[in-house]
């Protein structure tokens, strides 16, 4: 019964929430005064579209994670792509690579904020070049993660044999019949252990370098904003601080609910620490949450949106009848 909730009902609930929240988020952005967000609203639209794609893929390719002794492994649970095949493995690998693409989305937002406060032409008349750059960065992250999963991350026959008994005990099926990503850190051949360590270190490296870049850019932006307060108007500098705060919140959420659990899952088998199934349930669920939690957090972090939402709660027709005028009223 719990498995039905985690791998069947929850992805559908998360997808429904994402398709409810993200259009509202986009509506708030594009009905706001254009001068406030400028071209940044198109990056936020890109982010919302990514959330919707991520939610659909999370629905049709639900993942399950489990650890056993010195090994952790990931499989597809339920849906159309469960059985062992090359195509189904590509689908599972693409699903995992979308998590890495979310780091790219955050990175291009930080870079944009850095360029914006330096009044770069890439955020104004040459913005189309920045959008092409953004698409390239997302494709690069996706491709690198995909390659790591497909080559060193793909479970070989030795890993399948190693987990076979545990797999049958947990899932009631044969591990030979499923597509599996995994790593075996001990009690295996040198080749298998080398591949496993390589995959995990590469996954960790991509994630960690990304997070370091987030914080380095954030610190640089904060430093510039402090200097900016001397020359820019108080209203302008405050809005830039609000945008940065919202971006930091947008960044912390996936770090907490996806990257941190992944680290535990990757590294606990190195010390033969078996994570309880309840943690596996939490991690599988958490990977689908941020697609609707992030836009809600951003909306509540920005005073101009938060006031509009509270205004709509008091007067439900305001969202559709007042538009920009309600925003102006709320922000003054």
Provide the pLDDT confidence category of residue 230 given band limits of 50, 70 and 90: low
Average the pLDDT over 211-230 and give the result. Answer: 87
Residue 165 has pLDDT above 80, yes or no: yes
The mean pLDDT of the chain is: 89
Alpha carbon distance 244, 254 (integer Å): 16
CA distance 30 to 38: 10
E strands along 204-273, which residues? none
Average pLDDT over residues 59-88: 93
Which residues, 6+ apart, have CB-to-CB distance to 244 below 8 Å?
Answer: 113, 218, 221, 222, 225
Return the bridge partners of 90, or none: none
Q: Tokens at residue 199, please?
A: 């995959």
Convert the pLDDT of each residue in 131-145 to its tens digit. 999 999 999 999 999
pLDDT at 313: 80
**More confident call, 259 vs 107:** 107
* Range with the poorest average pLDDT among 103-107, 120-124, 313-317: 313-317
Q: Residue 115, exposed/middle/buried by CB under 10 A (0-12, 13-18, 19+)?
A: middle
Candidates 53, 50, 58; CA nearest to 13 is: 58
Higher pLDDT, 39 or 227: 39
Specify whether the CB–CB gap between 284 and 7 falls below 8 A.
Answer: yes
* Whole-number Cα distances in Å, 288 to 109, 146, 180, 294, 299: 21, 19, 19, 11, 19
CA separation for the pair 157, 180 (Å, rounded):
10
Q: Helices 127-150 and 40-60 meet at what angle, rounded to 10?
A: 30
Nearest partner of 28 among 265, 221, 315, 303, judged by Cα? 303
- The pLDDT assigned to 331 comes to 37
Most confident option among 9-13, 213-217, 220-224? 213-217
Per-residue pLDDT tens over the stretch 26-61: 999 999 888 889 999 999 999 999 999 999 999 999
From CA 215, how far away is CA 231, in angstroms rounded?
25
């Amino acid at each position: 019964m719990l498995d039905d909730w985690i791998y069947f009902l929850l992805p559908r609930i998360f997808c429904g929430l994402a398709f409810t929240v993200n259009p509202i988020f986009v509506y708030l952005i594009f009905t706001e005064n254009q001068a406030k967000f400028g071209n940044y609203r198109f990056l936020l639209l890109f982010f919302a579209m990514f959330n919707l794609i991520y939610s659909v893929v999370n629905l049709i390719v639900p993942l399950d994670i489990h650890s056993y002794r010195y090994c952790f492994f990931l499989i597809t649970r339920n849906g159309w792509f469960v059985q062992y095949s090359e195509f189904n493995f590509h689908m599972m690998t693409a699903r995992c690579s979308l998590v890495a693409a979310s780091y790219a989305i955050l990175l291009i937002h930080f870079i944009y904020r850095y360029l914006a406060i330096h009044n770069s032409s890439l955020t104004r008349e040459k913005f189309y070049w920045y959008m092409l750059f953004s698409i390239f960065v997302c494709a690069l992250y996706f491709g690198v993660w995909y390659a790591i999963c497909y080559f060193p991350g793909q479970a070989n026959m030795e890993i399948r044999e190693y987990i076979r008994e545990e797999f049958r005990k947990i899932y009631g099926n044969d591990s030979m019949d499923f597509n599996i990503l995994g790593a075996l850190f001990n009690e295996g051949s040198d080749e298998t252990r080398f591949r496993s360590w390589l995959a995990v270190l590469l996954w960790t490296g991509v994630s960690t370098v990304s997070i370091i870049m987030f914080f380095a850019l954030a610190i640089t932006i904060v430093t510039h904003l402090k200097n900016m307060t001397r020359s820019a108007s108080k209203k302008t500098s405050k809005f830039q601080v609000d945008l940065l705060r919202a971006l930091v919140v947008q960044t912390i959420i996936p770090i907490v609910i996806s990257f941190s659990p992944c680290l535990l899952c990757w590294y606990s088998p190195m010390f033969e620490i078996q994570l309880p199934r309840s943690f596996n349930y939490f991690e599988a669920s958490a990977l689908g949450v941020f697609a609707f939690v992030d836009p809600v957090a951003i909306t509540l972090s920005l005073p101009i949106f938060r006031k509009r939402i509270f205004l709509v709660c008091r007067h439900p027709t305001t969202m559709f009848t007042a538009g920009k005028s309600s925003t102006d009223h709320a922000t003054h």
